[in-house]
Amino acid sequence: MAVVGGYPRFQYGGFWFGVVDPWPEYWSDDWYDNDDVYIDYSGDGYYLYNRRYPGDRIAITVNVN
């Protein structure tokens, strides 16, 4: 996880993912290093899901590197 222009983002598989929504404060401080997360397209955009918190989703942007 890196912060660019005040927004967190990460890279995986040749794509950059920008985090649009804040993640819930009850997620652990190192969730991005330890939790099982995945990206899925759902109706109006891409979202990050955390298997530990199945009811949560975070809007993200996707860019090709």
> What tens digit of pLDDT does each residue of 30-44 get?
898 899 999 999 998
Domain ranges of the chain: 2-64
Predicted local distance difference test score (pLDDT) of residue 57: 94
The pLDDT assigned to 58 comes to 93
pLDDT score, position 1: 75
Contacting residues for 17 by C-beta, under 8 A, at least 6 apart = 9, 10, 11, 39, 46, 48, 60, 61, 62, 63
**Percentage of the residues of the chain whose pLDDT score is greater than 70:** 98
Q: Determine the average pLDDT of the residues in 10-14.
A: 87
